[in-house]
Amino acid sequence: MICYQPEKKWGVLSNKSDRTNISAEAHESAGTDTYDISRLYAIAADDQELVCNLIDIFLRQYPEQIEELASSLADDNHDGVRRISHKLKGTLLNMGAEVAAGMALRMEKAAECSDIMLMDDLHGSVVSICHALADRLRRERQSLLDAGIICE
Amino acid sequence: MNILFAEDDAVSRKLVESYLNKWGHTAFLAEDGQQAIEIFDANPYIHLAILDWMMPNVDGVEVCRRLKKHPSQRCIYVVMLTAKAANEDIVQALDAGADDFMSKPFNQNELRARIAAGERIMNLETELVEYIEKLESALTQVKRLQGIIPICSWCKSIRTDKNFWTSFEEYLSDYGQHSFTHGICPDCMKKYYPDLVKAGADPE
């Protein structure tokens, strides 16, 4: 297996200040400004009911994934971190959240190389970005409900 | 078309299910590799499978291998769906018997086109199987006529494979798919209808 080299692909991360930059970037992108809800509508071919279904599934599924990620990290189970990050990446891509998926990809690659420091750095960012995305999706769901487009 | 979709991500399952229904297919959804195999075992009319590579219990490549070597020898078209796209991964999937390969995240138009391609190939394969069955059946008939046929020296009845004596016409009708129309040859005409021959009747 060719091991992931974060310093080549994502820029030099070997010193503390660079790692801080990555973290800052991750926290910044956790804001809803980087997420374009129209991506989700495009994926769902503008089917509002499907959008609502996907939001519901994501809101049910992601806390479990976040929890599994945390417990794998706590247990130093790098293969578990890799597997969950990979799955989370797929989920986020299907929700049209490319920036968040990119973060999960970094986590997956860091786990492949057992880069504990990077995994720790990214963990908080992945959690934040997922929570931010969930908030945005809840608002979208509510607006669909308010508009009478979908029912509870 | 009945399509098996195996993927551990619920969002992806819902999305693909919705696409497949929209395109007029019936979706069979599996949450992991083991469930995919069980669904395939229980549903003989599944002819196309879309399998995610990384799944719990049994991964997509192993599922593909098992579907392709299924005891029922059913024809199945397999599309591997994965974020992996390195050459060695593609080779591994194709070695396991995969017919096609799609990278994630997939585009719905690409998915539809690949399913349509799979459907065309499965239709051709089904037609081919039917033709082969017909051909084999025809060859069986030909073989029967090629062997030594026991015939009665006196009445010319023929003994069949099942040890029954049957008339020559009946035997040829059954085994050679010929049908008969009855006439009379000049020698028999002379023998059995001499008066008619004298009166100038033409046996032809």
Contacts of B10 in chain A (CB under 8 A): 57, 60-61
Please state at what angle helix A48-74 crosses helix B10-22, rounded to 10 degrees.
150
A15 to chain B, closest Cα gap in Å: 30
Residue A2: its pLDDT value, please? 44
pLDDT (mean) for B126-137: 89
Mean pLDDT of B132-150: 78
Considering only CB atoms, which chain A residues are within 8 Å of B11? 54, 57-58, 61, 90-91, 94-95
Q: Is the pLDDT of residue A5 over 70?
A: no
Q: Is the pLDDT of residue A114 over 90?
A: no
What's the rounded Cα separation, in Å, for the pair B21 and B112? Answer: 11
pLDDT per residue over B165-198, tens digit each?
988 888 877 776 677 788 888 888 888 988 888 8
Judge: A94–B9 Cβ closer than 8 Å, yes or no: yes
Whether A86 sits inside 8 A of B14 (CB atoms) is no
Burial of B132 (0-12, 13-18, 19+ CB in 10 A): exposed
Chain A residues touching residue B92 (CB < 8 angstroms): none
Please indicate whether, in this complex, the C-beta atoms of B108 and A45 are within 8 angstroms of each other. yes
d(CA A112, CA A47): 37
Neighboring chain A residues of B9 at a CB cutoff of 8 Å = 61, 87, 90-91, 94
pLDDT at B103: 82
**pLDDT at position A20 over 60:** no
B114 class by beta-carbon count within 10 Å (0-12 exposed, 13-18 middle, 19+ buried):
buried
In chain B, the percentage of residues whose pLDDT exceeds 90 is 43
Q: How high is the mean pLDDT of chain B?
A: 87
Which has the closest alpha carbon to B101: B124, B117, B122, B120? B117
At residue B184, the pLDDT reads: 87
B174/B177 Cα distance (integer angstroms):
6
Residue B171 in contact with residue B158, Cβ under 8 Å? yes
Residues B16-40: what's their mean pLDDT?
Answer: 95
Res. A152: pLDDT tops 70: no
> Rounded CA gap, A144 and B36, in Å?
35
Which stretch of B20-24, B124-128, B135-139 has the lowest confidence by average pLDDT?
B135-139
Measured at the CA of B195, the angle between CA B189 and CA B199, to 5 degrees, comes to 100
pLDDT of residue A116: 86
**Model confidence pLDDT, tens digit, residues B41-62:** 999 899 999 999 888 889 999 9
Q: Is the dihedral of CA B33, B37, B43, B47 positive or negative?
A: positive
Higher pLDDT, B161 or B203: B161
B202 three-class SS: coil
pLDDT of A12 above 50: no
Mean pLDDT lowest among B10-19, B34-43, B54-63: B54-63
User: Is pLDDT at B14 greater than 90 in this prediction?
Assistant: yes
Contacts of A103 (CB under 8 A, 6+ apart): A26, A29, A122, A125, A126, A129
B49 or A18, which is more confident = B49
Rounded average pLDDT over A63-92? 92
Strand partners, B82: B103
Mean pLDDT across B98-126: 90
Cα angle value B1/B3/B8 (rounded, 5°): 165
Mean pLDDT in residue range A115-122: 87
Across B29-61, b (16+ Cβ under 10 Å) vs e yields bbbbbbbbbebbeeeeebbbbbbbbbbeebbbb
pLDDT computed for residue A107 by the predictor = 92
CA distance B123 to B129: 10
Q: B106 to chain A: nearest residue by CA?
A: A94
- When pLDDT is averaged across residues A26-55 and rounded to a whole number, the result is 80
Position A64 scores a pLDDT of: 93
pTM: 0.72
Q: What pLDDT score was predicted for residue A30?
A: 46
Cβ distance A86 to B54 less than 8 Å, yes or no, reads: yes
Look at residue B4 and tell me whether its pLDDT is greater than 80: yes
CA nearest neighbour of B2 among B41, B48, B50, B40: B48
